[in-house]
Structure formats: structure tokens, C-alpha cells
Amino acid sequence: MRKVLALYKKEMGQYFVTPTSYVAFAFFFVVMGYLFSTAFLGSQVVREEYVYQSASFLFLFITPLLSMRLVSEELRQGTDELLFTSPLTVFHIVIGKYLAAVTVVLMILAISLIYPWILTRYGDLDWGLLAAAYLGLFLIASAMMAVGLFASSLSSHQMVSGIVAFALLLGFWILETASDAFYGVSQEVLSSFSMLHHLEEFEKGIVDVSHIVYYLALILLFLGLAVQSLEKRRWR
């Protein structure tokens, strides 16, 4: 556990010295701030959805940026061999890196609480609805980070990893729209795999265990794939 913590601290430090991280943070808060201010100032009405309605869409773009370095940089610099010969198992390596990525998600969500704080200056908010929406955002962004970590384990080129992660996430994202072209069971099956579909009820203030299980299953699936990908590299 101590070695996983050391790797976690190293990854957290990397987030604060990597220009890509600052580009991702700036993109998220500049665009979210613009959308929030235009929606609120345009309507002059205090509504909770101004806070979270654009956040999930922005995570679609920034999670590939924030996760593409996690393993690719180790592969490019050749430091992956040091990791593989250390007392850490591949599972520990993936967990240490993933926990750092999830911590960054929590930091972004914590900073974004400034928007509901601004709204409280002008009216009352449904904090139960906001809490459910934030839980949904945390789960979907954490799942996106797991997809990004897996993509990062596939290539030593960060840009390639970022593009693969974005393509995978976009595929999960548009399943909801694609399902509209079908009927009956086909529509339900496609929709059930959509990240967006499982977020909708959180944004209505409903916390359903089935949606939490979906995101946790997605996280475990892609972390498992990342472990398998790195195990193959370890024994080459």
C-alpha cells in the first residue's frame, strides 16, 4: 500500500507540472464559465441545471487530455521497465495511476462548486438534486478516466492514446442518439450501454443503484483491460 501511495503522489505531482493538464483545466473552466454565465444572465432565473448541464460534455474532451500521459509517457521514456521490475505489481501500478486521475476529477468538481455558490446569492437551490447530479458527474468522469488509462496503455505516443480514448468515449456517448434509430429491444440494448443514458436520472435528482453499478462495471472493465495490456508488455 505504501508503494501504491508513492506512485499516487508521483502521478499527482506530474499533473501539476504538465502543460497539458493546465490546458485541460483552462478549457473546462473557461467554457463552463461562459456557458453558465450566458445561461444564467440570459434567463435571470436560478436553476440547478446551469451548474451541471455542460460539465459531462466537457469531461468528454478533457479526460483524454488528462489520462493520455499516464502510461504512454512511461513507455516513451522507457521508465516502464523500472516500474515492471519494482516490487509493484501491474495491478498496483494501474490502481496508483487511476487513483491520481480520479483525484483530479474530484478537484475539478470541487472547484466547480463556485457556480452553485454564485446562484445561492440570488435564490434557493435544491441541494439534493445538485448532490445527485454531482454524484453522476463523478461516476461518468471516473469511468472516462478508466477508458483513458486503458487507451494510454496501448501506445507510447500520447497523442495516439488521446485519440483512441476520445474515439472510445465518443462511441459510448453517441449510443444514446444512435438508439433512437431503432425500436424495441434493440433500442433498449443500445441505450443501456450509453454513458449519457445512465447520467440522465442523476440529473433529475434520482440515485438508482443500477446506474451506479453500470459505471462501476465500466471502470472495472477498462482497468482490467489496462492490467492485461500492461501484463503483455511486461512479459515481452
- Structural domain containing residue 189: 1-235
The number of distinct structural domains making up the chain is 1
pLDDT at 65: 94
Decide: helix, strand or coil at residue 45: coil
pLDDT at 25: 93
Nearest CA to 162 out of 176, 145, 138 is that of: 145
pLDDT tens-place values along the chain, 236 residues long:
777 888 899 889 988 888 889 999 999 999 999 999 998 888 888 888 888 888 989 999 999 999 998 998 888 887 877 777 778 888 999 999 999 999 999 999 999 999 999 988 888 888 999 999 999 999 999 999 999 999 999 988 999 999 999 999 999 888 877 777 777 777 788 878 888 889 988 988 889 999 999 999 999 999 999 999 988 877 66
pLDDT at 128: 92
Exposure class string for 27-53: b at 16+ Cβ within 10 A, else e: ebbebbeebbeebbeeeeebebebbbb
pLDDT at 175: 83
pLDDT at 58: 94
Q: Where are the alpha helices (DSSP H) in the chain?
A: 2-15, 19-43, 49-52, 55-67, 69-77, 80-85, 90-111, 114-120, 127-152, 158-179, 184-192, 195-200, 209-234
pLDDT at 53: 82
